[in-house]
Structure formats: structure tokens, C-alpha cells
Chains A and B, each alone.
Chain A
Amino acid sequence: MIGPVLVLLSILGLCLIGVRIGFATLVVAGAAVALIRGPGAALTLIGQEVESIATSYPLSVVPLFLLMGVFVHRAELSQDLYDAAQMAFGKLRGVLAYATILSSAGFSAACGSSIATAATMVRVALPAMRRHGYGERLSSGTIAAGGTLGIMIPPSVPLILYGSIAEQDIGLLFLAGLLPGLVLVAAFLLTVLICLFRTPLPAAPQSIQAPARAHRAARAALPVLALFTLVLGGIYGRIFTPTEAAGIGAFGAGAIAFARGRLTGLRDWRDCFSETASITASLFMIIFGASVFAQYLNLSGVPFAVVDWVARMDLGPTALVCAVAVIAIVMGMVFEAVGILLLLVPVFLPALIASDVDLIWFGIVVVLVVELGLITPPVGMNVFVVKANAPDTALSNIFLGVLPFAAALLAVLMIVIAIPSVATFLPGLMGRN
């Protein structure tokens, strides 16, 4: 086991000094395979892994959902969603903070990326909250936490990747994420309520009560709702495969952006597609590296050693999932979502299967842990996104602001671990065994 540990530490060390995650993993894991099987076999393995992943039909869902997110962002639905969410809370004290959580959830339903959700909502919600005297911690913490909903509420890119590694039905994973996602929204709203006990704030801003704006806001929620229904309804109704649903969703989102006058020239379309290609490639580069790393682990027998270790420790399914969750929380302090999923899941998958762990449930647990990693120090990607858009806010203040939400997320994680049916109930209704 010394070899794999050294390889993992080398990858971690290189990532810390700034080597790009995908390349650090690919080069180090490739070199490690070369030490075991020779350079020729290592190079062949890299070529085969890269080619099979880049042309994998199940993974074609990734660029299409990303494109859908880019179009939704381009359509600038976020401001109207925010207004609609404000209307839902009426004149409640702290309405803007509640609206941030609710509109983040709404945006997540048409996006699938946590960073995109945080990056979009920060531009809409932060100026409004600042204008109405909301504290730095509450406003930045709410936005960073709201962004994490992007990867739990379907469609979710991390759930798609998990599904492809663990060979689980993506439709069932989306369905499994729905209830925990809603519980998380409720937990975040409750956290806002608790935070507001100590913060004197005015009631709802008057501007939103204007009938014309309110009417427009109500109408704005409809396209998002229609997209969400079309994509998820199509998957669950067995009308579309996930790839087809993603294609239809991207087409619909493009049509909305076009109808709202945000895609007028060919250059606008080019920008959307090249941005999607860029995000897709950076994601796939991590998958290439992680896939070579997973092959190295297989060659060095790590998954079987883990199975033996779990058998010796006599860990039950829940204890094993808790152990993996703790490791993922530690990894989440450094790595971003995809890195954790791709490095951790292949190592523990055989042990999880041997222990009869429900892999749909485990997928939701691991994505919740990944969400936690997005807002916890030292590397909390959503916190950095808020910081990038609010340079005058101290990073420490954003981390302090997000702390109550991290506690709420941890509580939801424990609920999902303790009561697996929170995740498995809806897939069960679909006739899953």
C-alpha cells in the first residue's frame, strides 16, 4: 500500500503547488503504471482511457446539460427569478436572504452547476442585499450556501459523473436528489431565520411590490418551471434518455435566451458554445486523469485491499458510508467536486458493493459531502466565487457567514445517512427494487 499512498501524496502535493488537477493526476498515475507494467503499457492505457471517455455516449449528457446552464445564464432569468422569490415571501423581515436561497434553488433546477449558480446569484442578490442594509456575513454566506444547491437539485453534473462511475441509473439519481435537495432548501431557510434573530433588518423593499414588476417576475418563473418539468418529466416518464433530455433542455434554454433577445448574433451563439466546450474540456481533463489513476489503483490491488480491510474491521454499511464521508469531507477541504468523486468512488466502490450499500443512497451522501466542501475552508470554491464578485468583503467574513449554513448542510447529511429513505423514497415510487 506504500506505492499508492505515495502516488496519492504526490498528486496532492503537485495540486497544492498549482499543477492543474487533471494533468497532475494523469502524469503521476501514468508514471506509476509505467513503473508496474512498463512505459509502453502506460502510454497505451492513457490513449485508450482518453479515447473511450471522450467518445462515451453516457457522458454526452455532460456538455448538453452544461450548454443548458450556459443558455439559462445568458437568458438572464436570474433577476426575474429573484423577484419572483421575493414575491413568494411577501413583506417578511429578511426577505432578500430568503429569496436568495429560493431563487438559487430555482436556478439550480435549470443549471446543474454549483459555481454557475453562485456566480449568477451573487451579481443579482449581493447588490440588492447591500442596498437594503444586510450584513456582509449574512449576504455573502447566503449566496455561497445557496450556490451549493446547484449540484443537489437535478439536473446535477456531479450526480451524472457518479452515475457513470458507479454504473447507476442517472434518472433514479436525479429523483433521489430531489427530496434531500428540498430538505436542504428548508434547512437553509431555517438557518436564515435563526441568523435574523440577531440582525435588525427592514421588511421587504417596496420596489418589488410594483404590480408591473411583480407580474413580470411571476411570468419569469414559468420558463424555468417548464424546462425543469420537460427535462425531468421526460426522463422519469421514460420518454427521453438522460442525453436526449439534456439535448431537449439545452434546446429549450437556447430558445428562451433567443426569445428574450440575448442571442441576437452568431457571435453570441459562438460565445455560448465555446464557453461550454471550455468547461466541458476542463471537466473531461480531470476525468481523464482520474480514470488513469483508477486503473493504476486496480493494477496495484487497492480496491481489494480496501474490501479486505472493511471485512476485517467488520464495518456495517452505515459505518462504511460514514467512514467514506469523513474521508470525503477531509478531501473536500482541498479538492473540488469532480476530483473528490473521481478519486474516491473507484477506491471504495468494490467494498461498498460487498457491504450491500445502496449505491443510489451513497451517491446522494457523497454529493452532499461534496457540497460541504464547496463552502468549507481552506478551499471553498463558492466562497471564492463570492469573493471574486465582492473584492471588498474579507474572505474570513464570507467563511464566517457561511458557517451556519455549513452546519445546516452537515445536519442534512446526518439526516440522509440516518434515514436513507429520504433519498431512496422517490426512486422506490418509480418501481426501483
Chain B
Amino acid sequence: MPTSSALRSRTLAALEWLALALGAILLGLTVWDVVGRYAFNRPLFGATEMIQWIMGGFVFCGLGIVSARDAHVAVDLISPRLARRFPRLMAGVIGVFTAAGLAVIAWQLTRMGLDAALRGKQSLVLEIAIAVPLLSYAVLCAFATALHLTGSDR
């Protein structure tokens, strides 16, 4: 059975590969749409909607990576001194806010996804079941929360 740190490393690696897949699709869709329109007079049907959903996935995938590395943007004015003086307290305070924010987002995306599934909501152009991307984002955000909570300074 893998240790928690091994599991964490594997999750992070999986997110990095997912970022490659989603990013490449995002880039490919954009270029395909432009080339299709100008070279073949056939723009990609529903490109805008696909780009929107893929970008959401790319953002939430990145949220897991940046949370695992604890690389969110911070103001380093007096915090390094405070962290040296009260390491556990400061790590706790900072960690609570990050975890609370991520958990609330994951919870609300789950709620919205389940609601969309119950109502059978579909996207306007491609008629994709909206619950699929929303629940995927919720899962990625839950991973971000778990990766943050299991970080080395927690």
C-alpha cells in the first residue's frame, strides 16, 4: 500500500499530465478553429463552448498543482518574520484560510453539479450535460484541498 507522501506525489504527477492534456486541447481547439475558418471555410462547431469548458478544467487542474506546491500569490512583507517566530501558528492560520476557500469552492461546485444533473441542464450549443464539467471541477478542487492539507508544512 502506498504511503501518503507517495500518493500525494502520484496525484500531483497525474495533475501535471492532465494539465498537458487539457492545455494541448485548449491550444489545439483555438488553432483548429482559426485554421478551419480561414483555410477551409469551416470553423469548428461549438469551439467557443468547448474552449470555455476545457479552460475551466485547466484552471481547476492548475489549482491542484499550485496548492500542492503552496505557490499561491502572497505578500511577503512581514510574514517571513512572523513565520520564523511563530512557525506552527502562522502555518495554521494561513492553511485554514486556503483550505476553507478551496473546500467551499469544491462544495459549491458539487452542489451546482448535482443540481444541474437533477434538472438535466444542457449547454446551449453542444447540448453537453452541464453536470459533467461542473462535477469534474468539483473533484479537481477537492484534490486541491487534499493536496494542500497534506502539504509538508501542515
B142 contacts chain A at the CB level, 8 A cutoff: no
* Segment with Cβ contacts to B, from A95-103, A274-282, A320-328: A274-282
Interface string of A167-198 (1 = CB under 8 A from B): 00000000000000000000000000000000
Cross-chain contact of A281 among B65, B83, B97, B107 (Cβ < 8 A) = B65
Whole-angstrom distance between the Cβ of A274 and the nearest chain B Cβ: 4
Q: Which residues of B contact A112 (CB under 8 A)?
A: none
Contact call B108/A20, Cβ cutoff below 8 A: no
Interface string of B43-84 (1 = CB under 8 A from A): 000001001110110111111011001011111111110110
Contact call A27/B97, Cβ cutoff below 8 A: yes
Cross-chain contact of A63 among B31, B58, B101, B104 (Cβ < 8 A) = B58
- Interface-centre pick from B69, B73, B107, B134 (highest chain A CB count, 10 A): B73
Q: Which residues of B contact A254 (CB under 8 A)?
A: 27
Q: Mind listing 15 A-B residue pairs with CB under 8 Å?
A: A18-B82, A20-B97, A23-B100, A27-B97, A43-B107, A50-B108, A54-B59, A55-B133, A271-B16, A273-B23, A277-B65, A279-B62, A280-B62, A281-B59, A282-B62
Q: Which residues of B contact A210 (CB under 8 A)?
A: none
Q: Which residues of B contact A248 (CB under 8 A)?
A: 30-31, 34
Nearest first, the 4 A-B pairs at minimum CB distance are A247-B30, A47-B108, A18-B79, A281-B62
Interface string of B93-130 (1 = CB under 8 A from A): 11001101110110111011000000000000000000
**With contacts A19-B97, A277-B22, A336-B75 known, what are 15 further pairs, Cβ within 8 A?**
A19-B93, A20-B98, A23-B98, A23-B100, A26-B104, A51-B56, A55-B52, A57-B51, A67-B27, A247-B27, A269-B20, A283-B73, A284-B63, A289-B101, A384-B76
Q: Which residues of A contact B131 (CB under 8 A)?
A: none
Residues of chain A from 217 to 244 with CB closer than 8 A to chain B in the complex: 239-240, 243-244
A30 contacts chain B at the CB level, 8 A cutoff: yes
Q: Which residues of A contact B75 (CB under 8 A)?
A: 15-16, 18, 21, 334-336, 379
Whole-angstrom distance between the Cβ of B63 and the nearest chain A Cβ: 4
Q: Which residues of B contact A273 (CB under 8 A)?
A: 16, 19-20, 22-24
Contact call B55/A285, Cβ cutoff below 8 A: no
A157 contacts chain B at the CB level, 8 A cutoff: no
Contact call A54/B100, Cβ cutoff below 8 A: no
Cross-chain contact of B90 among A17, A20, A54, A276 (Cβ < 8 A) = A17
Contact call A43/B108, Cβ cutoff below 8 A: yes
Contact call B15/A274, Cβ cutoff below 8 A: yes
Cross-chain contact of A251 among B31, B65, B79 (Cβ < 8 A) = B31
Q: Which residues of B contact A286 (CB under 8 A)?
A: 73
Question: Chain A: interface secondary structure?
Answer: helix
Whole-angstrom distance between the Cβ of B128 and the nearest chain A Cβ: 12
Which chain B residue lies CB-closest to A28?
B97
Q: Which residues of A contact B101 (CB under 8 A)?
A: 22-23, 26-27, 285, 289
Cross-chain contact of B104 among A46, A57, A247 (Cβ < 8 A) = A46
Q: How far is the CA of A57 from the CA of B72 in the complex (A)?
A: 23
Q: Which residues of B contact A63 (CB under 8 A)?
A: 23, 26, 55, 58-59
A378 contacts chain B at the CB level, 8 A cutoff: yes
Question: Chain B: interface secondary structure?
Answer: helix
Q: How far is the CA of A378 from the CA of B31 in the complex (A)?
A: 43
- Interface-centre pick from B24, B58, B71, B137 (highest chain A CB count, 10 A): B58
A64 contacts chain B at the CB level, 8 A cutoff: yes
Contact call B65/A54, Cβ cutoff below 8 A: no
Contact call A18/B74, Cβ cutoff below 8 A: yes
A56 contacts chain B at the CB level, 8 A cutoff: yes
Q: Which residues of A contact B137 (CB under 8 A)?
A: 51, 54
Whole-angstrom distance between the Cβ of B111 and the nearest chain A Cβ: 7
Whole-angstrom distance between the Cβ of A235 and the nearest chain B Cβ: 12
Binding site for B on A (CB under 8 A): 14-24, 26-27, 30, 43-44, 46-48, 50-51, 54-57, 59-60, 63-64, 67, 239-240, 243-244, 246-248, 250-251, 254, 266, 269-271, 273-274, 276-286, 288-289, 334-336, 338-339, 378-379, 384
Q: Which residues of A contact B72 (CB under 8 A)?
A: 20-23, 282, 285
Whole-angstrom distance between the Cβ of A204 and the nearest chain B Cβ: 38
Contact call A379/B73, Cβ cutoff below 8 A: no
Q: Which residues of B contact A338 (CB under 8 A)?
A: 73
A243 and B51 in contact, given A17-B82, A270-B16, A273-B23 (Cβ under 8 angstroms)? yes
Whole-angstrom distance between the Cβ of A245 and the nearest chain B Cβ: 9
- Interface-centre pick from B20, B23, B33, B109 (highest chain A CB count, 10 A): B23
Whole-angstrom distance between the Cβ of A338 and the nearest chain B Cβ: 8
Contact call A285/B63, Cβ cutoff below 8 A: yes
Q: Which residues of A contact B66 (CB under 8 A)?
A: 277-279, 281-282, 285
Contact call B30/A243, Cβ cutoff below 8 A: yes
Q: Which residues of B contact A278 (CB under 8 A)?
A: 19, 62, 65-66, 69, 71
Whole-angstrom distance between the Cβ of B53 and the nearest chain A Cβ: 6
Which chain B residue lies CB-closest to A62?
B55
Which chain B residue lies CB-closest to A283?
B73
Contact call B79/A17, Cβ cutoff below 8 A: yes
Contact call A277/B61, Cβ cutoff below 8 A: yes
Q: How far is the CA of A44 from the CA of B52 in the complex (A)?
A: 21
Cross-chain contact of A18 among B17, B33, B56, B90 (Cβ < 8 A) = B90
Contact call B17/A56, Cβ cutoff below 8 A: no
Contact call A281/B51, Cβ cutoff below 8 A: no
Contact call A276/B93, Cβ cutoff below 8 A: no
